[in-house]
Structure 1
Amino acid sequence: MFLESYCNVSGNKISFTRQQGSDFAKKVADDFNPLHDTDAKRFCIPGDLLFSLVLEKSGLSQEMKFTFSGMVSEGIELIFPMEINGQSAVVDSNNKEYLVIAASGQQTKKSETITSLTKAYVEFSGQTFPHILVALMAENNVMINPARPMVMYESMTIHLDKIDFTTVQLELAQSTLSIDGKRGVADLIFNLISEGKKIGYGKKHMLLSGLRPYEQATIDGIVDVYNDKKTQYHR
């Protein structure tokens, strides 16, 4: 599949370099989150890359939940499940969990189906900031810390009425932001559309930290830096 250039495979273990993680974020997801910059102090491999590899290795089920339990840094060797019967996890050689997956219902390993969903989901994720999150923050009169803009991907659920599709798109259905002091929880609910018909839905669950009162000028500055970074990269 198209993921082979974004990871290193050695036997049953998969690892990543900073460059591979950063390239996946920018080239595939169009995601310029500072956490995925090669020189970031708190660098982590994109959760969407782990999600994509799970589908490639173990297949797509009608009901799936992905819960991230640890940040993956450069060089960590991970073992991905080849089958998921109920629940499984992505672990390292010390059996530390980084991603827990629950799956049920019908399953497919059809490459065309999985590639279509993977690319559609990752593309949707790339729209999270600034398109969706900035509007949510403005509505709730809060914003992330401009010096340390921390937005963490915690979990994602997906439900499919059918799994015999070959093309699919994700459309945002609803977005909410719950605030507790300086922390926030954003839920992005999406529909899965194939050939003009809704075939399922899902939810992306994210954590925001370091929240403070909303300042339009500051947000504009964050977005400008983000967009400039993207423009410079694509030149």
Structure 2
Amino acid sequence: MDFGIDFSYVLKMIERISTAIPYTLLIIVISGVMGLLLASGVAAIRIKKWKVLYPITSIYVSFFRSTPCLIHIFLVYYGLPLILREFGIFADGWSKTLYASLALILFNGAYLSEFLRPAYLAVEKGQHDAADSVGMTGLSKFRRIILPQMLPIAWPNLENAFVELVKDTSVLFVIGLTDIMGLAKKIISNDFGVKKLEVYLAAAVIYWCITFAVSKICQLVEKQIGIGKQQRSG
């Protein structure tokens, strides 16, 4: 039973669309790493409750967590050049990759910060006091005492966020990027919609493989840093 699907064409499309994987992975890596750095900064500001930045970051987190990623892409792509133009910066010729990455960084930074903040707050105050009492610097305390206790709490959510990031890239075609989904849409358009089901199925298989690989990498990292062992011993 083939349900009317040309599976040989699906395999052909998988091979063709796979040429966009490196570009998609580039956006994923940039957005994931920079989003995590942004989230760390935002989480730190909200934990310390710095007077000026705290309300700004709270509004930022609330807005980006309450609105779709697609909206953020449009706002960054169409809105940022208008804002920068007011400061004499003309960004109309900037790469679409930059806009797409920035939108995903902002989107994921908001979500990831809400995974890091409660994980940090879950560490008992006595742990902080004990580290301070022996003269540890802030960085040393965080690296040796706080981070090892934060990771087991935050990691499952971080892993899910990285998987979601892969799927979030599927909407970047709306601003003309030729990533996996963008190439699939281009193929369908060039072929006037012929066998579009097969093309979409091919794209789905590729996303499935990438998310599976990301999950496995996260699991390897989890084992490498001993998160599972810490959870069981806790």
TM-score class normalised by the smaller sequence: under 0.3
Q: Relative to total residues, which structure has the larger strand share, 1 or 2?
A: 1
Q: Relative to total residues, which structure has the larger helix share, 1 or 2?
A: 2
Give TM-score, length-normalised by structure 1. Answer: 0.27
Structure with higher Rg: it is 2
